[in-house]
Chains A and B, each alone.
Chain A
Amino acid sequence: MPANEKITLKNATVGYKKSGGDIAILDHINLSFYEGDFVGIAGLNGTGKSTLLKSLCGLLPLLSGTLNINGIAVNELSLEALAKKVGIVLTERVGGFNLTAYDIVAAGQMPYTGSFNRLNAEHLAVIESAIDQCGIRNHRHKPANELSDGLFQKTVIAKALAQQTPILLLDEPSAFLDYASKHDLFLLLKQLAQQDKKCILVSSHDLDLVLKYCNKILLVSEKGAELLPVAEATQSDTFKKIGGGFI
């Protein structure tokens, strides 16, 4: 196994456990993602992009097959160890209970703090730099439920950065962002992949952004999941179908 392999799916079936029989969304897929990869996940609505992301971070157990993170099977990793390896950005909104944007970003340091969650100077420095990287310094003391959708999205991305993980999984992070912020975000992710050698997977419907910034595209369709370099992906029939002939 190459040393820089970050995520490996072997013969994996992704889906939901139901009492009336499992619902497999993606069947027997084999994928490998490496450090420095910036992968855009493209697929029509309901093809299983979010389900795949939830499986890759261990939130949703695989129906069969194995998932290795950094070469270690995910069920052999403690939750805390996993938290230091994979950071996620989901589409759900959280807030209330006096939570501020800062509190959400600070949660990213939880895997590194003790049982009373005390933050020392080192933790605080990481949180501050994540806040600056995502450009939310002026909004950090606002209540989380009063943030606009775009600012909230940036806050959760800052949380994932504060988690200092070599792997970042983002579920439609550009959905609520304005045009400039979308490009800012993808540029930031591209830098993180290239300079910090992070392995980043982003699901997105913004195909033009994916084409412009990502180095690989994971095409998700009813036929399964296919990982291709950007140049090859644009030639594939699946991609043309996802683009609907408009791209």
Chain B
Amino acid sequence: MRSVNIIKFSVLVLLCIVGCILSLLYGGSEPVQAASISSSDFIFWQIRFPKTITAIIAGSTLSVAGLILQVMFRNPLAGPYVLGISSGASLAVAVSIFAGNAFHLFSDFFIGKSFIVFAAVAGSFLVTVLILTISKKINSNIVLLLIGLMFSQICGAMQMALEYFADPNSLKSFVIWGMGSLSNNTNDDLLIYVPLALVCTIALLFFVKPLNALLLGQNYAQNVGIDFNKNRFYLILISSLLTGLTTAFCGPIAFIGTAVPILSRMIFSSSKQHLHLVSCLLIGCIILLFSDALCNSLIQNVSLPINMITTFIGAPLVIYLMFKNKHW
């Protein structure tokens, strides 16, 4: 690896560590004094710690999912949120929460975290496959994004219908989930979330070569010996798992999946996807950790929604890219 890249990666790792410290110390209604943390500190170990871990995993999974989608669609603006994949996951979660309350008998089964995870993954997989089918007939990147937008509108409308008929209890729990939050998870939840996310990310290492080949498009990828359909299926599966998992545990989080791979390509002028895979993991962590610290410390005693900060980072980047589309 070139020495410039080593320096860049070192800086990213450093920022990641700084982000962890900031999120642990300032990621709540009041700053924690580092000196006063003891092994039995409830706020630190039961609230701050799981939240910081959630930020790390959510940031990296969404970023990597975005990277896969951008390469697969050969569209630098793609991402789980803008293509409506997060909305598909949300809708599936809404259905399972409301169904759980409607059929009291199964409510434990339906509202249990593992079922929500399953529903979110299934929802995101379904939308990804739909979008992919449509994208084969459409060459324009912009039209594809508009179709993704329409998908999220349709999912949103169906969700609204569900919410309208829902009972107040499940409505409240769904609306809070839908705002997106890093602080919904306990240490026990992390025992499901972290290993699953790790497995998906490690599995992705075996798809680095197909990802590089897919940049050349279907025909050339096949001609250099890459089984397009098989690899595309696994890549969709992995990106849906990553998106669905994080959406299940944190709600829909905006723009991270789109913005981080873009930033990664700005920082590293390489087309090698294994490099971007690692840098997306790191940049995703950094952005969510800093966003978390920011939304808790901008206004005293107020915890702003995380989606507000991530949208302020992501949306301008997308607009910037539209203007500067030569370097897509």
B223 and A83 form a contact (CB under 8 A): yes
Knowing A90-B220, A98-B265, A107-B220, say if A145 contacts B326 (CB, 8 Å): yes
Are A96 and B328 in contact, CB atoms less than 8 angstroms apart? yes
B317–chain A nearest beta-carbon distance, Å: 16
What are 13 A-B pairs with beta-carbon distances under 8 A? A59-B222, A79-B222, A79-B225, A83-B223, A86-B223, A88-B220, A94-B74, A94-B220, A96-B215, A97-B76, A110-B226, A116-B208, A145-B328
Q: Let me know if B223 and A87 touch, CB within 8 A.
A: yes
Residues of A within 8 A of B226 (CB): 79, 110
Question: Whole-angstrom distance between the alpha carbons of A92 and B216 in the complex?
Answer: 10
Pair A94/B265 contact, Cβ less than 8 Å: no
Q: Is B7 an interface position by the 8 A CB rule?
A: no
Number of interface residues of B (CB under 8 A): 29
| B225 engages A99 (CB within 8 Å) | no
Q: How far is the CB of B266 from chain A (nearest CB, A)?
A: 9
Q: Let me know if B212 is at the binding interface, CB within 8 A.
A: yes
| A96 and B220 alpha carbons, distance in the complex (Å) | 15
Q: Does B182 contact A (CB under 8 A)?
A: no
Please tell me if B31 contacts chain A, counting CB pairs below 8 Å: no
Q: Mark A82-116, 1 if CB is under 8 A from B, else 0.
A: 11101110101010111110011001101101011
Closest Cβ–Cβ distance, residue B213 to chain A (whole Å)? 6
Chain B residue at minimum C-beta to C-beta distance from A60: B219
Contact with B along A109-138 (1 / 0, CB 8 A): 011010111000000000000000000000
Say yes or no: B274 contacts A116, CB within 8 Å: yes
Contact A115 B206 (CB under 8 A): yes
B224: Cβ under 8 A from any A Cβ:
yes
Residues of B within 8 A of A103 (CB): 215, 271
Contacts of A79 in B (CB 8 A): 222, 225-227
Contact A111 B219 (CB under 8 A): no
**B268 proximity list for chain A (CB < 8 A):** 98
Is A163 an interface position by the 8 A CB rule?
yes
B2 at the interface (CB under 8 A from A): no
Contact A82 B225 (CB under 8 A): yes
Q: Which residues of B contact A178 (CB under 8 A)?
A: none
